[in-house]
Amino acid sequence: MSSSIIINFHQHTVFGPMLLRWWQGLDDDRGGRAALRRAPDITAVVMLPAYQRLHQRLLTAHWPNEGWRNDKLAAAAALIAHVKQHTQQALPEAMGQRDGDKPRVSPLRFMRLLEAPDIDALFTGLRRSLPLLQHQADVLALATDVVGWDEAVKKRWAYGYDWPDKSDKSGA
């Protein structure tokens, strides 16, 4: 299921600006955004016109059209439809950021994300976590990490999260 092609949606790549324009275009496609937000799973996302428009655009830029990668793209598309404000803050850093004495995303919830057994579980967990971040995320980094979700991304996230100190009872 792995491929040597690494997909990256950063601004300086061919896919990054395309994804960002698509996400910005959801402001004018409220029905498409709402359908993506309501989609209960990746199969439902794949059948939505808003996702299909993104997929077709990326295919014109030589997106590697592999089923498993397309599922990850569908998950990323539905997740970024939940993002209301594009930021430059890394997602694990935002999740570990403190609101008072507690991280926005609890260590237990964050650990469950890292232990997600498949893309469907990751999709569900991230969809539930985005409201805790006030629907703010780096759209391109979120898409890159979801599409590239593997052990290296999990480790980078684990290092990027501000884990509570064991002596800190608020994170227990």
Q: What is the pLDDT of residues 52-110, one digit of tens each?
A: 999 999 999 999 988 889 999 999 999 999 999 999 999 999 999 998 889 999 999 99
Looking at residue 164, what is its pLDDT?
Answer: 85
Dist. CA 128–CA 105, nearest whole Å: 10
User: What average pLDDT does range 113-132 have in this prediction?
Assistant: 96
Assess contact for 107 and 164: CB atoms under 8 A: yes
Which pLDDT does position 5 carry in this prediction?
66
User: How distant, in Å, are the alpha carbons of 1, 2, 8, 17, 87 from that of 66?
Assistant: 9, 10, 16, 21, 29
What is the per-residue pLDDT across 129-170, written as a single tens digit (0 to 9) for each? 999 999 999 999 999 999 999 999 999 999 999 998 765 455
Domain positions in the chain are: 15-162
Q: Which CATH number fits domain 15-162: 3.40.50.2300, 1.10.3720.10, 1.10.520.40, 1.10.340.70?
A: 1.10.520.40
> Do β-strands 85-86 and 98-99 pair in parallel, antiparallel, or remain unpaired?
unpaired
